[in-house]
Amino acid sequence: DAGVIQSPRHEVTEMGQEVTLRCKPISGHNSLFWYRQTMMRGLELLIYFNNNVPIDDSGMPEDRFSAKMPNASFSTLKIQPSEPRDSAVYFCASRTSPSGNTIYFGEGSWLTVV
C-alpha cells in the first residue's frame, strides 16, 4: 500500500512568495496532521483534521499559514507570504481513526525560503 505522499519533496523560494505544500493521506485514514520540524523547536503540530474537519489549529504560527482538506484524499498547507523563518521540514501524517491508532508520516517537504 502507498504511504502518505507529500509534494514537493524540496522547494526553494524567495521571501514573499506563496508556498503550497500538498499531501495525500493513506487511503481509508480519517485523520490528517501537519507537523513542522526545525532544529530549534523540534517537531511541532500545526493543525489536524478529523473526517476533513479542522479540529485543532492552535499550532498554526500566524495568519500567513492556512490549511485545507477539501476531501478525504487531499490536503494543502499554504504559506503566504513566505519568510526565511518558515524554512523547515513540513510533515504530513495520517491515522485510521480519531482514536488511539498509529500515526503514519510522509517523507516530508523540505522548504527553504531565501
Residues in contact with another protein by the rule CB under 8 A? 4, 33, 35, 42-43, 45, 48, 50, 56, 91, 93, 98-108
Look at residues 50, 32, 44, 42 and name the one whose alpha carbon lies nearest to residue 104: 32
Nearer to another protein, 76 or 81 (CB): 76
Smallest distance, another protein to C-beta of residue 81, A: 27
Look at residues 44, 48, 65, 45 and name the one whose alpha carbon lies nearest to residue 56: 48
Q: Is 93 exposed, middle or buried (0-12, 13-18, 19+ CB in 10 A)?
A: buried
Nearer to another protein, 17 or 101 (CB): 101
| Residue type, position 72, single letter | A
Smallest distance, another protein to C-beta of residue 37, A: 9
Smallest distance, another protein to C-beta of residue 97, A: 9
